[in-house]
Amino acid sequence: MIPPEFIERLRVTIPEEDVAAALRGFSSPDSLVIRVNPLKSSDRDPVAALREQGGVLDPVAWCPGAFIVSAVAPTAISHHPLAASGNIYQQSLASLIPAIVLDPKPGEMVLDACAAPGSKTAQMAAMMKNEGAIVAVEAVKSRFFRLKAVCALQAAINVTCKLCDIRRFRSPEGLMFDRVLADAPCSSEGRFKSDEPESVAYWSVRKIKEMSYKQKGILMSASRHVKPGGTLVYSTCTYAPEENEEVVDWFLRKSEGAFTLEDCHLPGVPAYPCLTSWGRSEFDPAVLKCLRVKPGNGYTGFFVAKFKRKDV
């Protein structure tokens, strides 16, 4: 059961006309989405092979190599030989967004600050054609090994995995990065499922405040590794303003002008306006440049902010 207090907060957070779609999403199966992995070779084109087996694959316009799959059972994809070989990888629509916003280029140095389970790490390696380097940091040991396994399966050979909390991470020889992704741990409200009690078991307003405090430390720590002129992306899979706009507003003030927000809306990704206030707090109007993903049509609630570090 979805907590009533959460629903009350949701009705204030998102536009009234989008509430029904958000609530339906908590009791509906997620869209089946795959990303074709260009780092793995195959005797057959994965898309053609799936279509020959009855799958209907519709391209995701804003994410090259990603497809929404229908007319096939999810287990048929998760157990498919192409998945077992790493030629295709299941990844939600919302999960694909942060790497697209970060836009890593071949040859660049990239830091993935909260990397497990590795979906976005491997996606970035593919975008970079395995050229340049990604340092993927993960604090939880069990998730760290999952990260390593996903990168190995996906042939992401330009990734170095580090078992470390980003708040204590020290880059070798003071190395600075062209781009940094901080896909932070959160209250995961966008992934709530009414038939999965464990998805909501730990939710509370107190938990939101705890996560907000942690996220501020993660974002500030990640920002110290961005080189002048570099890009920093912060994202969560939650609706809570305390974990989204409030964190962004706090970071803008604490960084004292070193970082500015850039618009990160993507053509084709449904969105609704960010909040410029919550409770008694007023936020920097620049938060309107952030992306709040509108739930429905295969999308779950998600938040993305893109910062640019000023040149020295």
Q: Which domains does the chain have, with CATH numbers?
A: 4-30+92-309 (3.40.50.150), 32-91 (3.30.70.1170)
Span 195-205, pLDDT tens digits? 999 999 999 99
**Which sign does the torsion angle of CA 278, 26, 189, 153 carry?**
negative
Residue 42 is predicted with a pLDDT of 79
Residue 72 is predicted with a pLDDT of 86
The residue type found at 99 is A
Report yes or no: 193 and 26 within 8 Å, Cβ to Cβ: yes
Low-confidence ranges of the chain (pLDDT < 70): none
**DSSP secondary structure of 189-254:** GGG--TT-GGGTTT--HHHHHHHHHHHHHHHHHHHTTEEEEEEEEEEES---GGGTHHHHHHHHHH
Distance CA 140, CA 259 (A): 29
The residue type found at 238 is T
Annotated active-site residue 161? The verdict is: no
Helix-strand-coil percent breakdown of the chain, rounded to 5?
A: 40, 25, 40
Residue 99 is predicted with a pLDDT of 98
Residue 308 is predicted with a pLDDT of 98
Distance CA 56, CA 47 (A): 9
Residue 30 is predicted with a pLDDT of 87
**Which sign does the torsion angle of CA 91, 93, 94, 99 carry?**
positive
Dihedral pair phi/psi, residue 159, rounded to 5° = -100, 130
Tokens of 82: 């192409």
Distance CA 33, CA 263 (A): 26
Options 237, 264, 274, 290, the catalytic residue: 237
Report yes or no: 241 and 188 within 8 Å, Cβ to Cβ: no
**Which sign does the torsion angle of CA 125, 128, 134, 137 carry?**
negative
Surface-to-core class of residue 285, CB atoms within 10 Å of its CB (0-12 exposed, 13-18 middle, 19+ buried): exposed
Residue 173 is predicted with a pLDDT of 80
Dihedral pair phi/psi, residue 261, rounded to 5° = -85, 145
Residue 121 is predicted with a pLDDT of 98
Residue 294 is predicted with a pLDDT of 95
